[in-house]
């Protein structure tokens, strides 16, 4: 019947008559409110409507209203069962879901974020543009930019600036692509890298990047302190000396900045805006000062307004004091590292996906033009060397040292033999000389250095806090706690403060700057590589809204960053990568329990598929034969000895499938099978057994095993060896069970599989012990809950040294509960022996022999398996002993033939014994 509530068109699917759950008594009288136009494929009303964010929300999410809808299993049950089936009302949330289909849903708002309703959020101008500009216009702008162009000249100086801008621009494009691919939380570069490449790369670079920002605080503060010391020096007001005054002023400044930061983000943002205004005025003052005619004092110090001769003279490089292009670049590059200032507070932005690309790129453009503009006007107005002595004048036109200063009436030739105090190469306060009003430049220097220091002081703890919240390094969990409505990382601020003070005590800007250059370059390299890797993986989840990026450009940016690291300082680059590799290995070994859908997982999947296809296209060679075991363990926990022996064969190099056959109809066992997959795979992972768990439902054990042999594996990754336990009850078992067990061996031979049967005299199945332990644990929890309820009714008496509340230990309560479990001492001893026997292959095997009975040539599998055992650490003290059947007159000949065969297989053997009478029982020695 056509649905009257739906307007028909040619392209619409056919509509069907809707059925209601209430007609069959499924809904307990409740009527669902469903649009007439919505009908499920099963003919029933469900919540399977057009895409809606609520339908894709994490089932465990505590954010927002969550609707409950029937599962496919429930819908299947409706058709399979004629009884009453209760389907939850979709419009009501009747409690938390038991499980979640997604391990990590970044789009779901966390509880902390929901509680922080009054948190301050910034737009793209104040949150990104202003912060990036202030962080890039740092200490280098007024203190080192003139020195950089004095050393490198105008030509190479422009290359230094452009190279820095190229690196940061490519990195910004990659960052924009990553941050527009999903919701961006707090953590800046750490968050972007970890969610893209995974916790291994993210955890390692997170620590390095946070440390680099902490050291950057010291660099900016030392730059500020140098300016103050210069002022004190001009007025003969030094407290101790130049170096120690820099340390004292730097430490005092760090304390004041710490106070502003701890006061909160609102105060920090207001301070940033005020500093930006001062900085803009100071920059304008530089441009104005270059057109004001220079005074006699300024000319003696090397400033002559715009002169073509000065531009020509300063165009070529003049590296001094052992400096090179790359050493100069290393000192300048930290000036360009402020591009992540906005990303570092991504958690405090209103719309980080829109704000970060727009604000960061605009900041790079503005600051790049500013650096080039100021550098050029200074380079064409100030000579490299000047004495500052007004009497060093000459008659215009006379010849002296052929410098531009001579043509302008000054003789600074003494600077070639004696170090002068003025000029681009000697005076770090050239901007004061050039400007129209010197104190404004001092204020601008203070503004540039303090704003950058303040931004870094905020960035480092924010990144560090995000890293600690993810619990990548468990020892750092202490620093994850936040305070206030913005969850400020107060503990991180304190740690950053102490790191900054430690580097402030170095009191040398040119020493501190190269230290952080490598750390920032390593961070930028990984951001670019993250973008390339995500694009290369072609994951369906890689859908960045920002389209102005290119995966090969990102790869070029990553390679460029790495190359620049090595040419700046090769040993510092190696040290940086060494630290990163150590942290990467640490996180890899610890295996944090996180799943962020990284591109590393996507590439791993692609490589696995490609490798499987490659193997399928090549015939397997006998030299590469490995036992790929199909282990009939049932639940792996119930027969650990069989799993441990199989692990000794496969370990980390072979395929191991643990299999369980659920006897009975598939529909009846489907729920148990689904639960068993997750439970047993987690148990295998916890036991560090590199194996897979595979369940199957069948009418009997043999057919289930046959289905596993036939369908398990992929391509060449298919089992070739069947392992099962010895059937100890074959005398008392039903004939059908024995026939099914023997049928498994026949099927293995039919599929040309090797067969391994493990027999332990005590038995292998410990499932009844596991059930008893689970029951005991349940009783223990019930007793603990009962004791807690009883303690709530106890009167609160005085508390003293002898009057403390007694808490029963878990061991004591376990012993109490165990008394209630009825079991005889003989049964307990049997269970104890069974548990010990089941764990024997986990322990190191003592000195002994591995007996091999060579009945016929099976291609070497009978010798290969024991040989593999002897290569394992737990079995290395065991030697092979081979028994072969033979005739009395051929004993020596048979031995020689066997020795030749072992030599062919390159297998060492302790002893070869020929059994002339096959009926003789073998030795009991193992």
Residue 444 CA to its chain's centroid (Å) = 40
Residue 45 CA to its chain's centroid (Å) = 42
In a domain, 550, yes or no: yes
In this structure, the answer to whether residues 658 and 573 fall within a common structural domain is: no
- Judging by beta carbons within 10 Å of its beta carbon (0-12, 13-18, 19+), is residue 443 exposed, middle or buried? middle
Any residues with CB less than 8 A from the CB of 628 and at least 6 apart, and which?
650, 654, 655, 656, 713, 717, 718, 719, 720, 721
Instruction: Band the pLDDT of 166: cuts 50, 70, 90.
Output: very high
**What digits encode the pLDDT tens for the residues 54-87?**
544 444 443 444 455 666 666 656 555 544 444 4
pTM metric for this prediction: 0.69
Average pLDDT, rounded, for the chain = 77
**What digits encode the pLDDT tens for the residues 462-519?**
888 888 888 888 888 888 887 777 677 888 888 999 999 998 888 887 778 777 888 8
More confident residue, 53 or 860: 860
Instruction: State how far the Cα of 423 lies from the Cα of 334, in Å rounded to an integer.
Output: 23
Which of 385, 318, 382 has the alpha carbon at shortest distance from 152? 318
In this structure, the answer to whether residues 631 and 532 fall within a common structural domain is: no
Segment 855-874 shows an average pLDDT of 80
% of the chain at pLDDT higher than 70: 80
Which of 191, 218, 868, 118 has the alpha carbon at shortest distance from 502? 218
3-state SS, one letter per residue, for 736-754: HHHHHHHHHHHHHHHCCCE
Contact by Cβ (8 Å): 525, 561:
yes
Contact by Cβ (8 Å): 509, 226:
yes
Any residues with CB less than 8 A from the CB of 420 and at least 6 apart, and which?
385, 386, 387, 388, 412, 414, 426
- Judging by beta carbons within 10 Å of its beta carbon (0-12, 13-18, 19+), is residue 851 exposed, middle or buried? middle
Task: Please tell me whether residue 383 adopts helix, strand or coil conformation.
Answer: coil
More confident residue, 860 or 340: 340
Contact by Cβ (8 Å): 705, 659:
yes
- Determine how β-strand 629-631 pairs with β-strand 656-663: parallel
The residue to which tokens 């059908």 are assigned: 736
In this structure, the answer to whether residues 188 and 297 fall within a common structural domain is: yes
Task: Please tell me whether residue 733 adopts helix, strand or coil conformation.
Answer: coil
The pLDDT score that the predictor gives to residue 667 is: 82
For the ranges 373-382, 504-513, 802-811, which has the lowest average pLDDT? Answer: 802-811
**What digits encode the pLDDT tens for the residues 743-796?**
999 999 888 888 889 988 888 888 888 888 888 888 888 888 887 776 655 554
In a domain, 869, yes or no: yes
In this structure, the answer to whether residues 393 and 487 fall within a common structural domain is: yes
Q: Does residue 172 surpass a pLDDT of 80?
A: yes
The pLDDT score that the predictor gives to residue 263 is: 66
The pLDDT score that the predictor gives to residue 760 is: 87
Phi, psi of 420 (to 5 degrees): -95, 170
Torsion sign across C-alpha atoms 720, 724, 726, 732: negative
Any residues with CB less than 8 A from the CB of 282 and at least 6 apart, and which?
142, 435, 440, 441, 443, 444, 445, 447, 448
Tokens at residue 705, please?
Answer: 């095993």
Q: Does residue 359 surpass a pLDDT of 70?
A: yes
CA angle, residues 482, 484, 490, in degrees to nearest 5: 45
CA angle, residues 172, 175, 179, in degrees to nearest 5: 140
- Judging by beta carbons within 10 Å of its beta carbon (0-12, 13-18, 19+), is residue 279 exposed, middle or buried? buried
Q: Does residue 809 surpass a pLDDT of 70?
A: no
The residue to which tokens 């952080």 are assigned: 516
Give every strand in the sheet of 878-885, ordered side by side. Answer: 848-854, 878-885, 911-915
In a domain, 317, yes or no: yes
In this structure, the answer to whether residues 312 and 391 fall within a common structural domain is: yes
The pLDDT score that the predictor gives to residue 794 is: 55
Contact by Cβ (8 Å): 663, 740:
no
Phi, psi of 18 (to 5 degrees): -85, 140
Instruction: State how far the Cα of 858 lies from the Cα of 901, in Å rounded to an integer.
Output: 12
Q: Which of 769, 793, 823 is the last residue of a domain?
A: 769
| Count of C-beta atoms within a 10 Å radius of residue 728 | 15
Instruction: Band the pLDDT of 158: cuts 50, 70, 90.
Output: very high
Based on the structure, what is the number of domains in the chain?
A: 3
Contact by Cβ (8 Å): 336, 365:
no
In this structure, the answer to whether residues 565 and 693 fall within a common structural domain is: no
What are the E-state strand segments in 735-775?
754-758
In a domain, 68, yes or no: no
| Count of C-beta atoms within a 10 Å radius of residue 660 | 22
Transcribe 388-414 into DSSP letters. Answer: --TT-B--TT--SSSSHHHHTTB--GG
Instruction: Band the pLDDT of 364: cuts 50, 70, 90.
Output: very high
The pLDDT score that the predictor gives to residue 72 is: 62
Tokens at residue 614, please?
Answer: 């490659």
In a domain, 783, yes or no: no
In this structure, the answer to whether residues 441 and 496 fall within a common structural domain is: yes
Q: Which of 769, 793, 814 is the last residue of a domain?
A: 769
Q: Does residue 333 surpass a pLDDT of 70?
A: yes
The helix or strand, by DSSP H or E, that contains position 853, with its residue range, turns out to be: strand 848-854
| Count of C-beta atoms within a 10 Å radius of residue 403 | 20
Instruction: Band the pLDDT of 685: cuts 50, 70, 90.
Output: confident
CA angle, residues 128, 130, 136, in degrees to nearest 5: 95
In this structure, the answer to whether residues 387 and 461 fall within a common structural domain is: yes
Instruction: State how far the Cα of 368 lies from the Cα of 923, in Å rounded to an integer.
Output: 86
The helix or strand, by DSSP H or E, that contains position 282, with its residue range, turns out to be: helix 265-289
| Count of C-beta atoms within a 10 Å radius of residue 837 | 16
Q: Does residue 370 surpass a pLDDT of 70?
A: yes
Tokens at residue 534, please?
Answer: 């995500």
Segment 240-265 shows an average pLDDT of 83
The pLDDT score that the predictor gives to residue 61 is: 43
Q: Does residue 810 surpass a pLDDT of 70?
A: no
Contact by Cβ (8 Å): 654, 690:
no
In this structure, the answer to whether residues 858 and 749 fall within a common structural domain is: no
In a domain, 834, yes or no: no
Any residues with CB less than 8 A from the CB of 773 and at least 6 apart, and which?
none
3-state SS, one letter per residue, for 297-314: HHHHCCECCCCHHHHHHH
C-alpha distances in angstroms, 681 versus 13, 659, 671, 686? 42, 11, 16, 9
Contact by Cβ (8 Å): 788, 751:
no
CATH number at residue 302: 1.20.1740.10
Instruction: Band the pLDDT of 902: cuts 50, 70, 90.
Output: confident
In a domain, 4, yes or no: no
End-to-end Cα, the chain, rounded Å = 78
More confident residue, 93 or 307: 307
Q: Which of 740, 769, 798 is the last residue of a domain?
A: 769
Instruction: State how far the Cα of 467 lies from the Cα of 194, in Å rounded to an integer.
Output: 9
% of the chain at pLDDT higher than 90: 8
In this structure, the answer to whether residues 721 and 632 fall within a common structural domain is: yes
Instruction: Band the pLDDT of 900: cuts 50, 70, 90.
Output: confident
Task: Please tell me whether residue 385 adopts helix, strand or coil conformation.
Answer: coil
In this structure, the answer to whether residues 474 and 530 fall within a common structural domain is: yes
The two most distant CA atoms of the chain are separated, in Å, by: 124
CATH number at residue 723: 3.40.50.620
- Judging by beta carbons within 10 Å of its beta carbon (0-12, 13-18, 19+), is residue 921 exposed, middle or buried? exposed
Describe the chain by its helix, strand, coil percentages, rounded to 5: 55, 5, 35
Q: Which domain holds residue 872?
A: 843-925
Torsion sign across C-alpha atoms 816, 818, 819, 820: positive
3-state SS, one letter per residue, for 467-520: HHHCCCCHHHHHHHCCECCCCECHHHHHHHHHHHHHHHCCCCHHHHHHHHHHHH
Tokens at residue 62, please?
Answer: 């505590």
**What digits encode the pLDDT tens for the residues 534-579?**
888 887 778 888 888 899 999 999 999 998 888 888 888 888 888 8
The residue to which tokens 């000579």 are assigned: 383
- Determine how β-strand 911-915 pairs with β-strand 848-854: unpaired
In this structure, the answer to whether residues 568 and 628 fall within a common structural domain is: no
Q: Where are the alpha helices (DSSP H) in 804-890?
A: 810-820, 825-838, 861-870
In a domain, 169, yes or no: yes
Contact by Cβ (8 Å): 450, 252:
no
Tokens at residue 226, please?
Answer: 């140098």
C-alpha distances in angstroms, 351 versus 174, 268, 356, 560? 18, 20, 8, 31
Contact by Cβ (8 Å): 45, 38:
yes
- Judging by beta carbons within 10 Å of its beta carbon (0-12, 13-18, 19+), is residue 37 exposed, middle or buried? middle
Instruction: State how far the Cα of 772 lies from the Cα of 778, in Å rounded to an integer.
Output: 10
Counted residue by residue, the chain has a size of 926
């Amino acid at each position: 019947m056509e649905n009257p509530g739906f307007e028909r068109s040619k392209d619409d699917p056919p509509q069907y008559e809707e059925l209601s759950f209430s007609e069959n008594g499924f809904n307990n009288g409740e009527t669902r409110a469903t649009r007439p136009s919505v009908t499920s494929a099963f003919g029933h009303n469900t919540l399977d409507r057009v895409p809606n964010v609520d339908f894709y929300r994490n089932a465990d999410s505590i954010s927002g209203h969550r609707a409950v809808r029937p599962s496919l299993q429930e819908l299947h049950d409706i058709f399979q069962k004629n009884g009453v089936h209760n389907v939850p009302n979709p419009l009501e949330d009747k409690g938390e879901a038991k499980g979640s289909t997604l391990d990590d849903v970044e789009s779901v708002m966390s509880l902390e974020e929901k509680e922080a309703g009054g948190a301050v959020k910034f737009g793209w101008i104040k949150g990104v543009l202003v912060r990036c500009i202030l962080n890039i216009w740092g200490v280098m702008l007024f203190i080192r930019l003139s020195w950089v162009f004095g050393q490198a000249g105008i030509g190479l100086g422009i290359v230094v600036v452009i190279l820095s801008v190229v690196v940061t621009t490519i990195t910004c494009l990659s960052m924009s692509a990553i941050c527009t691919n999903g919701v961006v939380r707090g953590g800046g570069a750490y968050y972007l890298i970890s969610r893209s490449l995974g916790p291994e790369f993210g955890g390692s670079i997170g620590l390095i990047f946070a440390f680099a920002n902490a050291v950057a605080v010291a660099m900016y503060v030392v730059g500020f302190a140098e300016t103050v010391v210069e002022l004190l020096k001009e007025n003969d007001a030094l407290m101790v000396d130049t170096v120690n005054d820099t340390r004292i002023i730097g430490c005092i400044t760090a304390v004041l900045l710490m106070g502003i930061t701890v006061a909160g983000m609102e105060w920090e943002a207001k301070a940033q805006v005020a500093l930006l205004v001062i900085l803009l005025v100071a920059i304008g003052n530089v441009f104005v000062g270059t057109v004001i005619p220079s005074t006699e004092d300024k000319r003696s110090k090397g400033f002559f307004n715009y002169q073509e001769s000065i531009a020509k003279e300063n165009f070529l490089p003049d590296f001094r004091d052992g400096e090179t292009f790359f050493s100069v670049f290393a000192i300048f590059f930290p000036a360009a590292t402020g591009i992540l200032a906005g990303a570092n507070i991504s958690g405090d932005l209103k719309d980080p996906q829109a704000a970060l690309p727009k604000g960061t790129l605009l900041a790079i453009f503005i600051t790049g033009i500013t650096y080039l503009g100021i550098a050029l006007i200074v380079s064409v107005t100030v000579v490299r060397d000047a004495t500052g002595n007004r009497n060093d004048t000459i008659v215009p036109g006379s010849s002296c040292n052929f410098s531009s200063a001579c043509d302008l009436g000054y003789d600074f030739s003494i600077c070639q033999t004696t170090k002068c105090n003025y000029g681009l190469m000697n005076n770090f306060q050239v901007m004061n000389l050039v400007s129209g009003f010197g104190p404004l430049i001092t204020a601008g220097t203070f503004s540039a250095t303090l704003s950058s220091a303040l931004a870094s002081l905020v960035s480092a703890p924010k990144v560090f806090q995000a890293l600690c919240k993810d619990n990548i390094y468990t020892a750092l969990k202490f620093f994850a706690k936040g305070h206030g409505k913005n969850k400020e990382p107060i503990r991180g601020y304190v740690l950053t403060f102490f790191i900054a003070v430690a580097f402030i005590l170095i009191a040398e800007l040119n020493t501190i700057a190269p230290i952080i250059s490598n750390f920032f370059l390593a961070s930028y390299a990984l951001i670019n590589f993250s973008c390339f890797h995500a694009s290369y993986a072609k994951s369906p989840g890689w859908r960045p809204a920002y389209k102005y990026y290119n995966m090969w450009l990102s790869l070029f940016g990553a390679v460029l960053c790495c190359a620049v690291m090595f040419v700046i300082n090769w040993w510092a680059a190696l040290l940086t990568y060494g630290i990163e590799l150590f942290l990467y290995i640490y996180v890899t070994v610890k295996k944090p329990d996180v799943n962020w859908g990284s591109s590393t997982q996507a590439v791993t999947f692609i490589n696995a598929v490609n490798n499987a296809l490659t193997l399928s296209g090549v015939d397997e060679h006998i030299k590469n034969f490995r036992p790929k075991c199909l282990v009939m363990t049932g639940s792996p926990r119930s027969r650990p000895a069989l799993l441990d022996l199989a692990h000794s064969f496969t370990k980390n190099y072979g395929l191991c499938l643990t299999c369980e056959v659920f006897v009975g109809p598939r529909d009846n066992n489907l729920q148990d099978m689904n639960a068993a997959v997750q439970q047993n795979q987690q148990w295998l992972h916890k036991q560090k057994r590199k194996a897979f768990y595979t369940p199957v439902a069948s009418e009997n054990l043999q057919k289930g095993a046959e289905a596993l042999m036939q369908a398990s594996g992929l391509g060449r990754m298919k089992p070739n060896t069947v392992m099962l336990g010895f059937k100890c009850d074959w005398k008392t078992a039903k004939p059908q069970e024995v026939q099914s067990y023997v049928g498994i061996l026949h099927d293995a031979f039919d599929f040309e599989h090797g067969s391994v049967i493990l027999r332990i005299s005590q038995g292998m199945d410990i499932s009844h012990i596991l059930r008893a332990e689970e029951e005991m644990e349940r009783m223990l929890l019930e007793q603990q809950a009962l004791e807690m309820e009883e303690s709530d009714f106890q009167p609160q008496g005085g508390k003293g040294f002898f009057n403390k509340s007694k808490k029963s230990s878990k061991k004591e309560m376990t012993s109490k509960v165990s008394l209630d479990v009825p079991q005889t001492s003989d049964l307990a001893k049997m269970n104890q022996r069974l548990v010990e026997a089941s764990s024997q292959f986990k322990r190191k095997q003592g000195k002994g022999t591995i007996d091999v009975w060579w009945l016929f040539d099976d291609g070497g599998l009978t010798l290969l398996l024991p040989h593999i055992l002897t290569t394992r650490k737990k079995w290395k003290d065991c030697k092979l002993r081979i028994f072969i059947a033979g005739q009395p007159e051929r004993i020596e000949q048979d031995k020689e033939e066997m020795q030749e065969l072992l030599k062919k297989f390159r297998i060492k053997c302790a002893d070869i014994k020929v059994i002339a009478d096959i009926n003789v029982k073998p030795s009991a020695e193992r």
